[in-house]
Chain A
């Protein structure tokens, strides 16, 4: 046995343990499972390591110019890969592909893709701004559409009619309107008949294609034209138009439907939409006017009784409008923006702060100012009313797109909202700062910032020497919060409050331990707002130390203004998330120096922000629509990011604005303080310490003696003081003394000395609130789908698991960061057959319930459990989790990495012999190989037996942070080494045993799943042989079986055949023979005969009754009609699912209320008329029954009539023509009120009675069950004399 075969064996083991996955995949995709797919899947799991890319100009899968990882490139490329990015390859230059066969233009395609297509002409402008691609309005026959001139001509040619192109039409909408306004009329021609023929069309079509005489504005039914077309013969919709139209007897469209036929016909002339009935209404629900209007929210459609209102000869104006979440009515097609809270710029004081916060606000001395208010975790959404339903379109997350909204004026003058998601140009705002020769946002920056709708100026004016402007995003971007959540985030949060508590250095150290102190992209952006204010203190004599410059930097105003700047840069500082909560580590203030006080910490602003987030209403920004897009982005090339050009960042490729930061680094002083003395602060972004060069002039006055000092600070608080004599001191006698005194005072008492105190604001990445209590709120609103960003903003323990798998979940990962503890998963193990034993921290064994090795080809489901959410992988060799190529996922993670706590696996363990089955052709060959000797004197047979006799599956599980257990967890199996004496067993069948087939079934395809690779036969006659071999041979029909050991599935190895259904009970006898690779060898095991039964349905499924039928009455429209259907027979004695419709080809809905045999449906919008309702029922075996019922729904609007009055034993008896209730009064009045009424007994029947008093007159009024009653008395009985009755 050579090593090659051993290797094959090893590979096979991997395969054999993977086989079960195929059926799972089959279940998922609903297709025939193929093991090859699974192998391909497993083998294609890529390495995560980053690689260089090369350009493949022509891939072998049809795409052109694709940057591929260097390692993968050759295998995916038809030609040699070019070792550069495709952007640099001449064949990959992007341009416009003009499709000569269709006449259309295709922007942004690589040159090579165009060159390879003979119908493509490459034009250099990637945006297709070339004459060939100029779009206009094309009219072909009665249709118009938006396209190029070539396209128009081609479509005309294909339709065989001439076309007309109009490039002066400005937009697609205008083109559409144009088509509505095409001047139409009657095209009259004669075919030799007595009367003229006519087609209603436009002049172009009439002249060029029909060759008739065109009568503009005439209907074909106009009597002047003497045509054979009769007016108003039918109604219908017309494709491309909104309204319901009358049609003449020739099938020509006439005017818009109106029940006022004369007005609608308009003396045979075209009646414009605006002059037709109710032109300013959508007319949905109207039963008399078919002037539907899509713009207003209706369109012509077939009338659907019970669903629609307003039947106009079988058609209706269908209501397409919506009601939004704020109960506002929205027109179909209208779109609007929805937000999570405030957006754009807003004032802290513009929210309703109320008395609660007056104390806090008082601290800020009215200087809270403006900030960019988008909440952390928030997203912009565009909602659209689309054919009666509100659809949500989330803009790109992390506020990379914003929702902008304009007002659109409809043709009828009505204004509606029109919204769209567009790119948020926030990066441009930051790049404007620190232009050439400018500090902070200087003149050049201010102009650019003011012109960019996504930017705003954030002025900082704390004191006269601490003021500057910054251009900041109006809609600050979201950051990837995942990087700050988890342990790092928590520690950083802890560190953030360090200076404020007693944790000082400890906090900092913890922060470093958290691994988040390195300069990430986000922290560098936030760092733009990390600034230091230098407060100058001077010793006064008397009076002591007093701030003489920037003293307000010690006030709350400094904190508020700086935090506003910080928040406006992105997800920075102290601010609230969409739930109004925050972590407090996003910003802090510290003081360095011996004097003064530290301003309030930013976290005290939180209540203000929290209220702001709930009270400030968002105002959707306008602008940025398609037609303005090019202006807005000023895009000369395919790069949508013009600001990148200036910063050498055209080919960013990766994620994150590294280029931006590079650019800002290159423009140190991007944000600087424009102070009197030009003290530049904090210009270098991302640098922890700031170079400060300040020249502060201090002055000291002591009773006429003025001594000036120049104080120069180069490193923050270090002070250099040197006295400089005032020239004034040189005059006068006393001056000399004064100088001396002054020097003495200065030197001895320190009067006039100055010291710098640094007030430092540190702006960091925003911190999520601690914990994970709000995680589940992420999915609260179905119109605001949960996303990674949204989830992670809700708490530092929130994490979105299994994103994009359809089972994504925002969970709290509290305690989820520990190394997973692996234990056996008991729930999935069939304990009647197997057991786990010798369970330890390092693994367990799987054995039969008797403690023996597992028989070969036994299906076994087993698994492991983890105490935390984890991703588990397995291998037959010890491995490291990080090296994913060496291992395979469990069932749950087959298609994508899924973190879960239960990890399942299904497998069959192969026999030793079967491992070589694929290598040999017959038994002799197999024996020969098995007896071969390999290294160490072992035979191949012994080697294989050793392998399957001690088989280990190694498992590693990693928690959400990717940290896996150090040691491989080991699951041990052994396969019974004895020769295979187990006969094959049928494990499962499809359809299941005893299944019912249809009443008229003649055959049934059946799949049987066998416990091991086998060949099977079947028959309908029970075999009488006693010997298994003879018995097997006596079966006449062969099944098509999977015999490859490596191609088993979850249920085993399938065998398929078609069984004949001939009777009510159909018995089939199936028998299988294992080890197909042994050919005719007698050692093959034959299983028992398996009796499989299928039953045919005993009777047809029958619909016994359908109600209503015949005439039914109601009092008023709309009428509620209850459909009732009863079924019997079929597979389950009438149990079936039924559906109904008014057309046998189209069933509208399933019966909602059904107990299997009785089915109910309520039609609640019915109007009078004839109906035929079609019913179709289907039972579990597939039997189908169809029935219909006709009914005539009539309205009873007449009051009931008294047919007879008589006395019977002192009782006054009324008989009625229909069930009624009758009332009387004795006031000789036919005016009835509740007070004077007495009701006859026997209400709602046709015979009513009351006690007879012959002395009084009875004024009687009766009403039927529909409430119809006469305006006056139904009958008056005066001076009762029963002789007359």
Chain B
């Protein structure tokens, strides 16, 4: 019995060491495992924050871009209608008043015997400027919302100056790009975002390109073959109406969304002997 005990005891030192080594290895592995898990979790959290930051910004800015787009459809190419102007003959110069509506001229000349002059040349560029002007003062508000949201989640937030605001009208929608530094810090960890992007889905580009084409033909040929334009743009329908005083009113409509843009053209008018 003693021997046995002794024997066991006599081997226990080696066994103890082995057990300790095993325990140590397990401990290290556990720590490593925990560390890795924590790291992953941390990374995951950071990733989500990034995603949320972009998402909150995108939602906010697209809200305003959407408003701007609606206004552009409503005001025929303008987020805000230009002031009323009257010509000497008591007729509004830059709107065609038709059936109680003021329809802006996209191509206009006051003179007879002359082709019309585009009122918003480089139309895509014009629309981008309109949208940019509209959203510019509102972007800071979006960053305020973003900042507030982050602070509520216990982040320290530092916002830099807006260095660039770019609006691009593309066939897939309206792209907004803002270059502005945002530093968010939590638990001593700091994260820096330098650019914000958003894409607002709309058919404004397609409609504007068709309007541009109509204006191109009107300035060149004094007319437009809108049926042929429809042929080349199967998602668009165009209506054309000629008023008694030879002003043409075009309606360009997206067949799917029914969004439409109405504009007037006055050009190539001949005199009427009286």
Return B89 CB to nearest CB of chain A, in Å: 8
A63 and chain B: residue at smallest CB distance? B119
Neighbouring B residues of A113 by C-beta, 8 Å: 121
Instruction: Verify if B10 is at the interface (C-beta below 8 Å from A).
Output: no
A-B contact pairs, 26 of them (CB 8 A): A29-B100, A46-B90, A69-B87, A101-B125, A102-B122, A105-B216, A106-B122, A106-B215, A108-B219, A239-B235, A333-B228, A333-B231, A335-B227, A398-B272, A400-B246, A400-B269, A421-B223, A422-B222, A422-B223, A479-B272, A479-B273, A641-B270, A654-B112, A656-B274, A657-B273, A658-B271
Instruction: Verify if A655 is at the interface (C-beta below 8 Å from B).
Output: yes
| Residue contact B234 to A239, C-beta cutoff 8 Å | yes
B121 and chain A: residue at smallest CB distance? A109
Among A420, A480, A805, the residue within 8 A (CB) of B274 is A480
Instruction: Verify if A120 is at the interface (C-beta below 8 Å from B).
Output: yes
Among B89, B219, B230, B274, the residue within 8 A (CB) of A386 is B230
| Residue contact A804 to B227, C-beta cutoff 8 Å | no
Cα–Cα distance between A663 and B87 once the two chains are bound (Å): 28
Instruction: Verify if B124 is at the interface (C-beta below 8 Å from A).
Output: yes
| Residue contact B246 to A106, C-beta cutoff 8 Å | no
Mark out the residues of chain A between 67 and 122 whose CB falls within 8 Å of any chain B CB in the assembled complex. 67-69, 72, 76, 94, 97, 99, 101-102, 104-110, 113-114, 117, 119-120
Chain A 119-136 near chain B by CB (<8 Å), digits 1 or 0: 110000001100000000
Return B221 CB to nearest CB of chain A, in Å: 5
| Residue contact B232 to A146, C-beta cutoff 8 Å | yes
Instruction: Verify if A831 is at the interface (C-beta below 8 Å from B).
Output: no
Chain A 936-980 near chain B by CB (<8 Å), digits 1 or 0: 000000000000000000000000000000000000000000000
| Residue contact B232 to A626, C-beta cutoff 8 Å | no
Neighbouring A residues of B119 by C-beta, 8 Å: 62-63
Cα–Cα distance between A477 and B85 once the two chains are bound (Å): 32
A627 and chain B: residue at smallest CB distance? B221
A385 and chain B: residue at smallest CB distance? B227
Return B218 CB to nearest CB of chain A, in Å: 9
Among B94, B221, B270, B274, the residue within 8 A (CB) of A479 is B274
Stretch touching chain B among A337-345, A363-371, A517-525, A1232-1240? A517-525
Among A110, A480, A654, the residue within 8 A (CB) of B117 is A110
Instruction: Verify if B52 is at the interface (C-beta below 8 Å from A).
Output: no
| Residue contact B94 to A63, C-beta cutoff 8 Å | yes
Instruction: Verify if A51 is at the interface (C-beta below 8 Å from B).
Output: yes
User: Which has the most chain A C-beta neighbours within 10 Å: B112, B124, B240?
Assistant: B112
Instruction: Verify if B63 is at the interface (C-beta below 8 Å from A).
Output: no
Cα–Cα distance between A335 and B223 once the two chains are bound (Å): 15
Instruction: Verify if B60 is at the interface (C-beta below 8 Å from A).
Output: no
Instruction: Verify if A483 is at the interface (C-beta below 8 Å from B).
Output: yes
Q: Do A626 and B225 form a contact, CB below 8 Å, given A67-B110, A895-B97? A: yes
| Residue contact B115 to A397, C-beta cutoff 8 Å | no
Instruction: Verify if B114 is at the interface (C-beta below 8 Å from A).
Output: yes
A421 and chain B: residue at smallest CB distance? B223
B124 and chain A: residue at smallest CB distance? A102
Return A640 CB to nearest CB of chain B, in Å: 5
Instruction: Verify if B157 is at the interface (C-beta below 8 Å from A).
Output: no
Neighbouring A residues of B245 by C-beta, 8 Å: 804
Neighbouring A residues of B99 by C-beta, 8 Å: 804-806
Neighbouring A residues of B272 by C-beta, 8 Å: 398, 400, 477-480, 655-656
Q: How many A-B residue pairs have CB under 8 A?
A: 216
Cα–Cα distance between A335 and B225 once the two chains are bound (Å): 10
Among B94, B111, B124, B271, the residue within 8 A (CB) of A651 is B111
Neighbouring A residues of B122 by C-beta, 8 Å: 97, 99, 101-102, 104, 106, 117, 119-120
Cα–Cα distance between A387 and B231 once the two chains are bound (Å): 10
| Residue contact B85 to A638, C-beta cutoff 8 Å | no
Instruction: Verify if A1174 is at the interface (C-beta below 8 Å from B).
Output: no
| Residue contact B271 to A51, C-beta cutoff 8 Å | no
User: Which has the most chain B C-beta neighbours within 10 Å: A48, A76, A395?
Assistant: A76
Q: Do A53 and B88 form a contact, CB below 8 Å, given A386-B227, A394-B242? A: yes
Instruction: Verify if A644 is at the interface (C-beta below 8 Å from B).
Output: yes
Return B174 CB to nearest CB of chain A, in Å: 14
Instruction: Verify if B268 is at the interface (C-beta below 8 Å from A).
Output: yes
Among A47, A66, A386, A521, the residue within 8 A (CB) of B273 is A521
Chain B 156-196 near chain A by CB (<8 Å), digits 1 or 0: 00000000000000110000000000000000000000000
Neighbouring A residues of B217 by C-beta, 8 Å: 626
Cα–Cα distance between A545 and B93 once the two chains are bound (Å): 67
Cα–Cα distance between A626 and B227 once the two chains are bound (Å): 14
Neighbouring A residues of B86 by C-beta, 8 Å: 44, 46, 69, 72
Instruction: Verify if B257 is at the interface (C-beta below 8 Å from A).
Output: no
Instruction: Verify if A513 is at the interface (C-beta below 8 Å from B).
Output: no
| Residue contact B227 to A655, C-beta cutoff 8 Å | no
Neighbouring B residues of A384 by C-beta, 8 Å: 227
Listed from nearest, the 8 A-B pairs whose CB atoms lie closest are: A61-B82, A480-B274, A806-B99, A522-B273, A641-B113, A108-B219, A521-B273, A109-B121
Q: Do A803 and B223 form a contact, CB below 8 Å, given A76-B83, A656-B272? A: no
Return A1001 CB to nearest CB of chain B, in Å: 26
Cα–Cα distance between A520 and B272 once the two chains are bound (Å): 12
Instruction: Verify if A50 is at the interface (C-beta below 8 Å from B).
Output: yes
Chain A 394-412 near chain B by CB (<8 Å), digits 1 or 0: 1111101000000000000
Cα–Cα distance between A480 and B274 once the two chains are bound (Å): 4
Instruction: Verify if A415 is at the interface (C-beta below 8 Å from B).
Output: no
Return B257 CB to nearest CB of chain A, in Å: 13
| Residue contact B90 to A522, C-beta cutoff 8 Å | no
| Residue contact A803 to B115, C-beta cutoff 8 Å | no
Binding site for B on A (CB under 8 A): 28-29, 40, 44, 46-48, 50-51, 53, 59-63, 65-69, 72, 76, 94, 97, 99, 101-102, 104-110, 113-114, 117, 119-120, 127-128, 145-146, 158, 172-173, 176, 239-240, 294, 299, 333, 335, 384, 386-387, 391, 393-398, 400, 420-424, 427, 477-480, 482-483, 520-522, 525, 570, 626, 629, 638-641, 644, 651-658, 787-789, 800, 803-806, 895-896
Neighbouring A residues of B273 by C-beta, 8 Å: 477, 479-480, 520-522, 525, 570, 656-657
Q: Do A396 and B270 form a contact, CB below 8 Å, given A44-B86, A423-B222? A: yes
Instruction: Verify if B260 is at the interface (C-beta below 8 Å from A).
Output: no
| Residue contact B112 to A655, C-beta cutoff 8 Å | yes
Return A786 CB to nearest CB of chain B, in Å: 9
Neighbouring A residues of B234 by C-beta, 8 Å: 239-240, 299
Instruction: Verify if B1 is at the interface (C-beta below 8 Å from A).
Output: no
Return A352 CB to nearest CB of chain B, in Å: 33
Cα–Cα distance between A112 and B38 once the two chains are bound (Å): 62
Instruction: Verify if B7 is at the interface (C-beta below 8 Å from A).
Output: no
Instruction: Verify if B220 is at the interface (C-beta below 8 Å from A).
Output: yes
Q: Do A626 and B221 form a contact, CB below 8 Å, given A69-B87, A76-B83? A: yes
User: Which has the most chain A C-beta neighbours within 10 Å: B116, B221, B237?
Assistant: B221
Cα–Cα distance between A102 and B216 once the two chains are bound (Å): 14
B81 and chain A: residue at smallest CB distance? A61
Neighbouring A residues of B243 by C-beta, 8 Å: 804
Instruction: Verify if B150 is at the interface (C-beta below 8 Å from A).
Output: no
Q: Do A482 and B274 form a contact, CB below 8 Å, given A48-B90, A51-B88, A61-B94? A: yes
Chain B 45-84 near chain A by CB (<8 Å), digits 1 or 0: 0000000000000000000000000000000000000111
Among B171, B223, B271, the residue within 8 A (CB) of A420 is B223
| Residue contact A50 to B246, C-beta cutoff 8 Å | no
Neighbouring A residues of B94 by C-beta, 8 Å: 61, 63
Cα–Cα distance between A395 and B270 once the two chains are bound (Å): 12
Cα–Cα distance between A535 and B115 once the two chains are bound (Å): 50
Instruction: Verify if B212 is at the interface (C-beta below 8 Å from A).
Output: yes
Among A61, A106, A655, the residue within 8 A (CB) of B83 is A61
Neighbouring B residues of A477 by C-beta, 8 Å: 272-273
Q: Do A640 and B114 form a contact, CB below 8 Å, given A106-B121, A657-B273? A: yes
Cα–Cα distance between A387 and B271 once the two chains are bound (Å): 35
Cα–Cα distance between A145 and B120 once the two chains are bound (Å): 23
Q: Do A172 and B228 form a contact, CB below 8 Å, given A107-B219, A400-B272, A788-B244? A: yes
Neighbouring A residues of B227 by C-beta, 8 Å: 333, 335, 384, 386
